[in-house]
Amino acid sequence: MRPASAPDAAPRARPRPAVEVADIFRAHGAAYRHAHALARAPRRAMQAIETCRTAALGGHRETCDTWGADRIAYNSCRNRHCPKCQTLAKERWLAARRADLLPVEYFHVVFTLPHALNALAQGNPRVVYTLLFRAVAATLTTFGRDPRHLGGDVGGTAILHTWGQNLSQHLHLHCVVTGGALTQDGARWIAAPGFLFPVQALARVFRGKYLAALQRAFTTGQLVFGGSLAGLAEPAAFAAWLADFRQHDWVVFAKRPFAGPTQVLEYLGRYTHRVAISNERLVSHTDGVVRFRWRDYADGDRVKIMTLAAEEFIRRFLLHVVPDGFVRIRHFGFLANRTRRTKLARCRALLTPPPAPAASAIESVAALMRRLTGIDIERCPRCQQGRLHVTEILAPASPLPQCVPVMDTS
């Protein structure tokens, strides 16, 4: 029997954003898919975002053990492009990275591809993005091993971002790099002398390595050309096109070193699991028009409002869906997966810090939410006393819509 004074209303929950990417996809996604041939990855991302936390994905019923009140919680899509599904993934990734941090300076370096490569990337995303990772890792490794700089192997993490603030295509890698290197024989740690590497020299070497890799990809038939780039399928035309890139400076940017390992983790948390646009930046969605906030770095970092037709908003959002299975966070140098454990242990022995903390157990979703937000998602939202227990599993409400055969350009 319930107590006589059961509460009548639930406490006010955190407000839902006025508009979400999912709302825009639900309103205009079907028409967009009908009008455009999409690769598999963008189509799957759209469907996941549209159905995230709805009855279409199923869920469960939770019942309060004090008042008997219940609520339904629907399942998340867990798609890496969904604005609502990144917090838990980010926190668990960061927890795993804490054990990799060393008591040294870390630097933030950004490598950017020229916008003239955007059209090639749209038709060849896997190749263009993979070569970007390889060229950046090779460039930093070359400078690290050069005895004029450090004379050893640096360690780093590279994160692919493909967007600018206005959702345009802006291909770049954010890198967090150790301010020092492990000699190749593992005998010494060499600290960086207050800065990492000269950025103009980095940019020239990065440009050379990337263009050489792009030429090899062309020669081995890894690139496809269509639309405005169809003429580049001829070797002479492609070589002339690449030659023009050598005439211009490429952009590499380096920031001051982080204050310490804690600041490194805070930075990584802002960049690792971001999507092209968060729901919080959306302002309105009415009459087929989407408005969102963006920061104009070319105009003194002023915050402005961008207005786009829904179709154009969807097109820009989908530019940033990476191919299925593509890894957009990668480690290099002595942090590369195949050598990380042994080389990190050697670095710690040379740096003689306190013993590295043992890897913590994976937190439950409820514990993670309590730590991050102070909200106990297992507490009954009506009475604020009872605990919620799962009493029923809800199957998906209906089969997901059949997908039209699609073109796979990944």
**What secondary structure does DSSP assign to 8-20, as a single string?**
SSPPPPPPPPSS-
Q: What is the mean pLDDT of residues 175-192?
A: 95
The DSSP string of 53-71 is TSGGG-EEEEEETTT--EE
Distance CA 239, CA 355 (A): 53
pLDDT band at 15; cut points 50, 70, 90: low
- Residue 125, H or E segment: helix 125-145
Q: Are residues 294 and 303 in contact, defined by beta-carbon separation less than 8 angstroms?
A: yes
Q: What is the mean pLDDT of the chain?
A: 87
Residue 82's pLDDT is: 92
Contacting residues for 254 by C-beta, under 8 A, at least 6 apart: 107, 108, 109, 110, 195, 196, 197, 199, 202
Q: What is the pLDDT of residues 279-319, one digit of tens each?
A: 999 999 999 999 999 999 888 889 999 999 999 999 999 99
Report the SS3 class of residue 171: strand
Kindly indicate the confidence band of residue 359, based on its pLDDT and cuts at 50, 70 and 90.
low
Confidence check: pLDDT of 104 > 70: yes
Residues with Cβ < 8 Å from 260, sequence gap 6 or more? none
How far apart are the C-alpha atoms of 43 and 39, rounded to whole Å?
A: 6
Quote the CA–CA distance of 166 and 169 in Å, as a whole number: 9
Its pTM stands at 0.82
Average pLDDT over residues 204-229: 96
| pLDDT band, very low/low/confident/very high, at 384 (cuts 50, 70, 90) | confident
Q: Is the dihedral of CA 376, 88, 82, 255 positive or negative?
A: positive
Q: Which residues 6+ apart lie within 8 Å of 221 measured at CB?
A: none
Contact 406, 41 (CB under 8 A): no
Pair of tokens at residue 7? 């509460």
In this predicted structure, the answer to whether residue 55 has a pLDDT above a threshold of 60 is: yes
Residues 6+ apart with CB under 8 A from 109: 140, 175, 177, 196, 199, 202, 252, 253, 254, 255
H or E element that contains 242: helix 235-245
Rounded Cα distance, 95 and 364, in Å: 13
Query: Comparing 4 with 385, which gets the higher pLDDT?
Result: 385
- The answer to whether the CB of 365 falls within 8 A of the CB of 203 is no
How many C-beta atoms lie closer than 10 Å to residue 117's C-beta?
Answer: 17
Q: Are 197 and 107 in contact (CB under 8 A)?
A: no
Residue 251 pLDDT level (bands cut at 50, 70, 90)? very high
- How many angstroms separate the CA atoms of 382 and 322, rounded? 41
For residues 263 and 236, the model is more confident at 236
Integer Cα distance of 49 and 250 in angstroms: 35
What's the pLDDT at 353?
53
Instruction: Give residues with Cβ within 8 angstroms of 22, minimum separation 6.
Output: 49, 50, 52, 84
Q: Which segment of 185-189, 223-227, 396-400 scores lowest on mean pLDDT?
A: 396-400
pLDDT of residue 8: 38
Do 66 and 382 form a contact (C-beta atoms < 8 A)? no
112 neighbors 163 (Cβ within 8 angstroms): no
- The distance in angstroms from the start CA to the end CA of the chain is 59
Give the single-character DSSP code of 230: G
10 against 238, higher pLDDT: 238
Q: Is the pLDDT of residue 410 over 70?
A: no
Q: What is the pLDDT of residue 406?
A: 43
Confidence at residue 400, expressed as pLDDT on a 0 to 100 scale: 53
The band of 383, judged by pLDDT with boundaries at 50, 70 and 90, is: confident
